[in-house]
Chains A and B, each alone.
Chain A
Amino acid sequence: MALLTRVLLDVLKPHDPSVLDLARALSDVGGYRVRVRVLEMDKNTETLEIEIAADAIDFPAVVQVIADLGASLHSIDEVDVEGASSDAATD
């Protein structure tokens, strides 16, 4: 089964919780490495670019954390996926 190892997301979130809170919450899902860049700041919202990298990302759990913190996933801009070994595929 293919493993998701990196994903780049475009996310809109309210000012609170902070970018730090969001990054920590995403990292806590599975010890992921998370990088967040603020692209735009409006009166009530912030547009973020979020990069998550790990050996295997649980994407539904990531989406759940984003939604739970009041943010919205606008788009998935990049993904890196690693396939399972050919031995495993032919077994």
Chain B
Amino acid sequence: MIRLNALRQLRFLLRISHSHGIVRRYFVVNGFDGALTMLGIILGFWVSDPAPLRVVIAACVGAMVALTVSGISSAFISESAERQRDLAALETAMARDLDDSAHGRAARWVPWVVAIANGSAPLLLALLIIAPLWLAETGLPLPLSPLLLSVLVALALMFLLGVYLGRIAGVSVWRSGLRTLLVALVTAGLILLLGD
């Protein structure tokens, strides 16, 4: 096996399997899902009868765990199938077993990388969105209501996801950020409308 350090080896495997873009796409898509889901849950509590903060936190943590597990398992299962199919096609073309080659390693490891990216995105974003609720629960004084702060964090993260997408696409980051923010605002508007 060619001696590369772990990070270089991983980048090499992502490159030969054309998976850089896939990892990025999974991260953004599931991060988007995670942030919007948290926004939806918090706004749901906002428009309903006041509930204890620990109930809001429990609902958010439940959704966060489900999104994370779902993200990891679904991406792993689907990417494993895709990678095995690609490997089998390449083995046919090469008329040899590629299990011990870089392509075999890519087929085994890339699904894990994609799965971790897909699962970590909603986990990371949800933790940031829930943070004001936790801080308030610990008794830390906050300048605004914890629910409002969580909503603002969610909107800011949605904007930043758009900025990230804009940087990838090489287009205006402001325009891209405002577009994802608009999606979040429309979602919030629908929830508030239906909740009234």
Q: Which residues of A approach B to under 8 Å, CB–CB?
A: 12, 14, 16-17, 21, 25, 28, 42-45, 65, 67-72
Which of B2, B12, B93 is close to A44, meaning CB atoms less than 8 Å apart? B93
Chain B contacts of A71 at CB under 8 A? 94
Q: Does B89 lie within 8 Å of A44, measured CB to CB?
A: yes
CB of A26, distance to nearest CB on chain B (Å): 10
Interface size class of B (residues with CB under 8 A): 10 to 19
CB of B38, distance to nearest CB on chain A (Å): 39
Complex CA gap A45/B91 in Å reads: 11
Chain A contacts of B96 at CB under 8 A? 72
Chain A contacts of B89 at CB under 8 A? 44
**Known contacts A44-B93, A70-B101, A72-B96; 14 further A-B pairs (Cβ under 8 A):** A16-B15, A16-B16, A16-B18, A17-B16, A17-B102, A25-B2, A42-B93, A67-B101, A68-B1, A69-B101, A69-B102, A70-B102, A70-B103, A72-B95
Chain A contacts of B101 at CB under 8 A? 67-70
Which of A14, A42, A67, A68 is close to B90, meaning CB atoms less than 8 Å apart? A14
Complex CA gap A65/B2 in Å reads: 7
Which of B15, B18, B98 is close to A70, meaning CB atoms less than 8 Å apart? B98
Q: Does A44 lie within 8 Å of B102, measured CB to CB?
A: no
Complex CA gap A72/B123 in Å reads: 43
Chain B contacts of A17 at CB under 8 A? 12, 15-16, 102
Q: Does B12 lie within 8 Å of A67, measured CB to CB?
A: no
Q: Closest residue of chain B to A44, judged by CB?
A: B93
Chain B contacts of A12 at CB under 8 A? 94
Complex CA gap A25/B1 in Å reads: 11
Q: Does B100 contact A (CB under 8 A)?
A: yes
Chain B contacts of A25 at CB under 8 A? 2
Q: A14-B90, A16-B16, A44-B89 are in contact. Are A68 and B2 (CB under 8 A)?
A: yes
